[in-house]
Amino acid sequence: MPYTFRIADVSDAPELSRLLKCAMKTYCEGSGISEAMLEAMNEDTATIEDRIRRCTCLCCLDGNDIVGTITFNTVDTPQKLSFSDKTLNYLSGFSKVGYISRFAVREDLRNSGLGIELVNRAVELAVKEDCGAVLLHSSATNKSMVEFYRKRGFRLIDHEDSRGYDRGLFSNSLG
């Protein structure tokens, strides 16, 4: 792959914002949900800068252009991600998990393997941090994303609709 990968810097926030909003529009279309339902669509640059400071935001670059990103952080209290007894029971088996969010690939590079590489790198971070699993939330109705995650070893643990759509919690157990 001719791409380079690095950790994001706060100066990347405007470019990451554009990339994420473009990807989230496609995500909304594939999920059958309104853009207003996603907090990612309403984030300002300061919010993204804060996430870059708090989490590990990986960037994939083609030359100087950011063409992909994924955010990873370690969660030492996985139960806080619970939204049902079923989820709580599942999460009680872990003392630490990794969590993926804000995953995006530039539209013309989707289905190129770049997204797979980004997810693999996030999973590698979880392994290095001795996490028992990697979790993420995604629309349970977005068939292409559900299938993408399934092929990466993630399975739907539970789902809920507090945000106005069928939002699933997916897990890739590393143990």
Classified by CATH at the fold level, domain 4-173 comes out as Aminopeptidase (3.40.630)
- Give exposure, 38-69, as e/b (b: 16+ Cβ within 10 Å): bebeebeeeebbebbeebbbbbbeeeeebbbb
- Per residue of the chain (175 residues), give pLDDT as tens: 589 999 999 999 999 999 999 999 999 999 999 998 888 888 999 999 999 999 999 999 999 999 999 999 999 998 888 888 999 999 999 999 999 999 999 999 999 999 999 999 999 999 999 999 999 999 999 999 999 999 999 999 999 888 888 999 999 999 7
Q: Supply the pTM of this predicted model.
A: 0.94
Place of tokens 């800068």: 49
d(CA 59, CA 132): 24
CA nearest to 91, candidates 112, 103, 77: 77
C-alpha pair distances (Å), 6 with each of 16, 59, 68, 69, 73: 13, 5, 11, 10, 15
The interaxial angle of helices 143-151 and 13-31, nearest 10 deg, is: 110
Assess contact for 45 and 9: CB atoms under 8 A: no
Every domain of the chain and the residues it spans: 4-173
> What's residue 79's pLDDT?
87
Which amino acid, one-letter code, is at 13? A
> What's residue 1's pLDDT?
53
